[in-house]
Amino acid sequence: MPFDLSPLWISLKTSLLATFITFFLGIAAAYWMLGYRGKGKSLIEGIFVAPLILPPTVVGFLLLLLFGKNGPVGKLMEPLGFSIVFTWYGAAIAATVVAFPLMYKTALGAFEQIDSNLLRVARTLGAKESTIFWRISLPLAVSGILAATTLAFARALGEFGATLMLAGNIPGQTQTIPMAIYFAVEGGAIEEAWFWALAIMGISLSGIIAVNYWQETRGNRRGQINSKSRSVASIATQSQNSKIITPDSPILTQHSPGSGLFVDIEKQLSGFSLKVCFSADKQPLGLLGGSGAGKSMILRCIAGIETPSSGSIVLNGRVLFDSQQGINLPPRDRRVGFLVQNYALFPHMTVGQNIAFGLPKGLSATAIRQLVETQLIAVQLEGYSQRYPHQLSGGQQQRVALARALASQPEVLLLDEPFSALDTHLRSQLEQQMIGTLSSYEGVTLFVTHNMEEAYRVCPNLLVLEKGKAVHYGTKYDIFEHPATVGVAQLTGCKNFSSAVATTSGQVQASDWGCTLSVIEPIPEALSNVGIRAHQIIITDKPNQENTFPCWLARTSETPHRMTLFLKLHHRSTNNNDYHLQAEVFKEKWATLKDQPMPWYVRLDPLRLILMQ
């Protein structure tokens, strides 16, 4: 054992100070860069990580030029009689510079792993950016930040080249353990070198082991808490499973109805431009469209998560966004409830903490607890307040997310495909519960979906979108009975189309089907297509009826309850893909139909024909 232990104290002193400084600087820089969208981001990133890729002697040389007697910082310190060069402060600065990139990059990676939907939802719940950082981002990134801190400490402890250039190797003043090892080997003192090598490995490994132990203990403690919450909630579950949510269920969302929502925005997206204008009131409005039609983007613009290129958004008389007046309220001030596809429950918070997150500030603990329980009763989850999201099923998570959104008393509720992650049976159950809940909600509701049946059941009014444009806006009955375009008809489930031209008053020529059809509906001036839904095609034994044609079966497709028949009009088909129409019949009908000789006869009821522009 060497007589002089000063390298140990100097190394601990400099590395701990460096770690302390890089901890705050690294986290601040990482969080700032996470949201930075300005110019020169790559350049800033390169400067931050440069000490990690440059040779330590180069880093030390640059620090010497900066802090040396003739350097800019050195000249500022000269009148004060203070110098950084050849002092332990210099060693600490060198360690800080070389440790910073590891702290920054690892912390940045930890922040990037956080689901962005969690941050978006937190903003819509009224949280300030500082609150989001302390309550969402930092707790979820804590494991990565601890790993970053450990790496930064180990890097600072092992720094050699930059320290030697800036602080030198002064025994008892600036000589750290790495330099003690180097000069011990240079002087032939192998045993002393071994001592310091084992010491630095022991210190570094101890830090790593301590962090791992803390993480394991924390995980075990959380598991014990979760086990307790399961046992407590199981009692409540038995009594709640038989309850059904009705429109009269208590819900914390009652407020006076306003003038509704008005949206008139444009936003340039990749591949097309979003341009919509619509209004909505208390009755839920469904946004129906295929993937990439711009449905979710409309919700994000209303919530303030995205900024439109131009236009305005007005909610109950309050201007949320107006490009001409320069108004763009932050999400926390818009009073918007946002339910995203993956529900975005805060995983480190209990169910009760999730629901309470958006409650007004200043409420007592008793009031918060009562409000949370009221919401849980309303969504049939009484007794679940101490559970964590990972302990819930998909349906339970969806209900908690809905309760959280409603607890903040929003003036508009945005539902972004809330049933997309659920199986068919659970989707049907929760859909009925959602309809009951929305019937007692007095705010505006926008419901995004690409499922036509879901939209029909939940929403009295629909806005149909195609590539960012509103192509049909009206009641669900109007849109399903009289779709304006082929695209709208396809979205509403129509499968049979033919290009069409008007021949005489009350008749159109369906060129793709090779027939002339009598129609009841007024013929549009810009008629382009005629269509009929598969379940509205009639297979008849009366060939002399109006719009009745012989047909042959090309092939069939089976579902649990129905058969889809692919039919060729006028003559036999040449192959399985040679057909004109798809007709759907129940299997009972198919059982009596399948053995009948060809040709069959189909009737295209004039009342059921759809004329489209």
For 416-438, how does the pLDDT look when each residue is reduced to its tens digit (9 = 90+)?
988 876 776 677 778 888 888 88
Task: Express the helix, strand and coil content of the chain in percent, nearest 5 each.
Answer: 45, 20, 35
SS3 447: strand
**Per-position b or e across 128-160, b if 16+ CB within 10 A of its CB:** eeebbbebbbbebbebbbbbbbbbbbbbbbbbb
Identify the pLDDT of residue 345: 94
| pLDDT of 297 | 92
HSE, CB side, 13 Å, CA atoms: give it for residue 441: 29
C-alpha 132/C-alpha 358 separation (Å) is: 12
Average pLDDT over residues 199-225: 71
pTM given for the model: 0.78
> Where do we find the tokens 């630095």?
200
pLDDT (0 to 100) of residue 225: 40
Count the neighbouring beta carbons within 10 Å of the beta carbon of residue 75. 11
More confident call, 243 vs 417: 417
- Structure confidence by residue, pLDDT tens digits, 108-128: 999 999 999 999 999 999 999
Q: What is the DSSP letter of 360?
A: P
3-state secondary structure string across 144-169: HHHHHHHHHHHHHHCCCHHHHHHCCC
Q: Residues 6 or more apart from 481 whose CB is under 8 A from it?
A: none
Find out whether 162 and 60 touch, Cβ atoms under 8 Å. Answer: yes
| Strand, coil or helix: 465 | strand
Residues 6 or more apart from 135 whose CB is under 8 A from it?
A: 122, 127, 357
With H, G, I as helix, E, B as strand and everything else as coil, classify residue 328: strand
Residues in Cβ contact with 376 at an 8 Å cutoff, skipping those fewer than 6 apart: 351, 352, 355, 382, 383, 384, 385, 403
Structure tokens at 425: 């049976």
Instruction: Tell me how crowded residue 522 is: count the other CB atoms within 10 A of its CB.
Output: 9
Q: Report whether pLDDT(19) > 70.
A: yes
Is pLDDT of 322 > 50? yes
Highest mean pLDDT, choosing among 17-26, 79-88, 162-171, 219-228: 17-26
316: left (phi over 0), alpha (psi -120 to 50) or beta: left
Q: Could you tell me which residues are beta bridge partners of residue 551? A: 569, 600
Dist CA 405 CA 125 (whole Å): 7
Mean pLDDT on 281-289: 90
Tokens 């409309």, residue located: 298
Instruction: Enter the tokens of residue 443.
Output: 């705010």
115 to 185, 448, 521: CA distances (angstroms):
50, 21, 51
What confidence tier does 380 reach under pLDDT thresholds 50, 70, 90? confident
Q: How high is the pLDDT of residue 2?
A: 54
CA distance 186 to 174: 18
3-state secondary structure of 565: strand
**Structural domain boundaries in the chain:** 6-220, 261-480, 494-612
Higher pLDDT, 448 or 450: 448
For the residues 523-536, what does the mean pLDDT come to?
92
| Joined tokens for residue 322 | 């107006």
Cβ atoms within 10 A of the Cβ of 188, count? Answer: 9
Whether cis (ω within 30° of 0) applies to the bond prior to 599 is yes
Per-residue model confidence (pLDDT) at position 205: 85
DSSP letters, 62-116, are HHHHHHSTTSHHHHHHGGGT---TTSHHHHHHHHHHHHHHHHHHHHHHHHHTS-H
- Joined together, the tokens standing for residue 143 give 């494991």
591, with CB counted inside 10 A (0-12, 13-18, 19+), is exposed
Q: Which residues pair with 204 in a beta bridge?
A: none
Long-range contacts of 347-350 (CB under 8 A, 24+ apart): 347/140, 347/388, 347/389, 347/390, 348/139, 348/140, 348/388, 349/388, 349/389, 350/229, 350/385, 350/386, 350/387, 350/388
C-alpha to C-alpha distance for 343 and 359, rounded to whole angstroms: 18
pLDDT confidence bin for 252, thresholds 50/70/90: very low
Q: What does residue 11 show for φ and ψ, rounded to 5 degrees?
A: -65, -45
57: left (phi over 0), alpha (psi -120 to 50) or beta: alpha
What would the two tokens of residue 66 be?
A: 């900066």
Q: Match 């108004």 to its residue by tokens.
A: 327
The reported pLDDT for the residue numbered 572 is 92
Question: What is the per-residue pLDDT for 342?
Answer: 86
427 contacts: CB under 8 Å, gap ≥ 6? 419, 454
Domain 261-480: give its CATH code: 3.40.50.300
Compute the distance between CA of residue 287 and CA of residue 451 in angstroms, rounded to an integer: 10
Q: Give the tokens for residue 430.
A: 């929760």
- What confidence category does residue 21 fall into, taking pLDDT thresholds of 50, 70 and 90? very high
What are the structure tokens assigned to 141, written together?
């990134």
Mean pLDDT score across all residues of the chain:
86
CATH of region 6-220, choose from 3.10.20.90, 3.40.50.720, 3.30.70.270, 1.10.3720.10? 1.10.3720.10
Measure the CA–CA gap between 297 and 530, rounded to whole angstroms: 32
- Residue count of the chain: 613
Q: What is the pLDDT of residue 35?
A: 87
Instruction: Provide mean pLDDT across the span 178-186.
Output: 90
What pLDDT does residue 244 have? 30
Place of tokens 């099923």: 393
